[in-house]
Structure 1
């Protein structure tokens, strides 16, 4: 497992887990602290690997503590019991360990199957506006749907304001089990991206796709995404976790 947030230059983590390589990068931008967190854990029994990116709510130490708490708890539980279980474990841990109501976080969890299960699905669960994308070499698919007021308005055919894109409707502290976002996708070759809104909102999907399509290694891609978000005017903490998925003979090769 690892967690990593940095105030300026990122620390890059590149664990090799069953042939899968993951690397993260993070910048503080104009915030006073970096309240993002990253965690990865492989379960010794299931062989599954959980990847988590969390974004603490607010520009204060309680937000940073909440993000670190939920990222670690979600990775540990999701690797053993699945992505939804990771979100529920994160909520339980946050309520127990950081009871202050202002300590909260949003997060996204992706669980990849063990290396000896090439046809197993990739599970993704989330609350808030952290995202998961899959790039299969041709198409960039946004797996998650933001839990924001703006997205709620759009689904109802109503006009939204830019501010609504930053108002989340679920969080680790408040989410009900039936409101947890969930999706399953084939465990194909390509790249998986988990990001905080400080990356994907300044960039947009076309820029994210162009960067993921580059042939550079995961650490370089993670850094490029974060740097590009800040150059595009991003002011929020920006964190990207890039996972290069190995070729799995007999596996699914779709997006």
Structure 2
């Protein structure tokens, strides 16, 4: 659990699940001169060490970009770093930074960001998947399409990056698909309504519900009740 002097408190949790490698990663960095913070969560593409490495590179690079430059600049920096890395790994990524009155978010792939008002969650991101592509065109996708991403850190063009802004929420939730494709949004909100539930409760619930993927969550909140949040700190993911 971490706190800014005049900013959000946040906590993270992750679990490898039944996979052989934990290819999720999350990071946060507070600029000591400004107090501004940047959050990032990545999900490596595949169950391999190269995917985990790409996710770690992406989040560690993204959070070093000043919040004043915005999450789009942070994601662009992460892309340059992943493309310059050896090994060919790839990942999907969501980057968020709080500002006076809310949060700004940029993403590629099927990681998600939700605004939290203390009672319910509102999804800010839209999955970049083959399933969403067909839904947007009035077709019913096959279940396997839910896991086929159409953008990633290594491959996305500038115009394909998603952007969103939430004004006025008490908090922000970032999740990998091992959480939000197992738990419904209402189930996640129900867990978060019960103090001191947070990131760890979501990860535990996803695995208990039969999740077959890495599960990772980052919860940030301005609400004064959050210091009681029980989570597992996670600077970056590590292989099994």
Alpha-carbon distance in structure 1 between the residues aligned to 2:87 and 2:18: 25
Name the residue aligned to 1:229: 206
Query: Which protein, 1 or 2, shows the higher relative CO under an 8 Å CA cutoff with sep ≥ 6?
Result: 2
> SS of the counterpart of 1:202?
coil
Shift of 1:107: 0.9
Q: Among residues 191, 196, 215, which one is paired with 1:211 in the alignment?
A: 191
The CA RMSD measured in Å over matched residues stands at 1.5
Alpha-carbon distance in structure 2 between the residues aligned to 1:24 and 1:245: 15
Name the residue aligned to 1:11: none
Q: How many residues align?
A: 223
- Mean alpha-carbon deviation: is it higher for 72-81 or for 124-133? 72-81
Q: Among residues 97, 107, 123, which one is paired with 2:93 in the alignment?
A: 107
TM-score normalised by length of structure 1:
0.83
| Aligned residue runs from structure 1 range 39-58, under 5 A | 39-58=27-46
Alpha-carbon distance in structure 2 between the residues aligned to 1:45 and 1:85: 19
Q: Among residues 174, 180, 201, which one is paired with 1:194 in the alignment?
A: 174
Alpha-carbon distance in structure 1 between the residues aligned to 2:206 and 2:150: 24
Alpha-carbon distance in structure 1 between the residues aligned to 2:164 and 2:147: 22
**Divergent runs of 4+, >3 A:** 44-47
Where in structure 2 are there 5+ consecutive unaligned residues?
A: 225-240
TM-score normalised by length of structure 2:
0.88
Q: Among residues 163, 180, 186, which one is paired with 2:144 in the alignment?
A: 163
Shift of 1:245: 1.5
| Aligned residue runs from structure 1 range 119-138, under 5 A | 119=101, 121-138=102-119
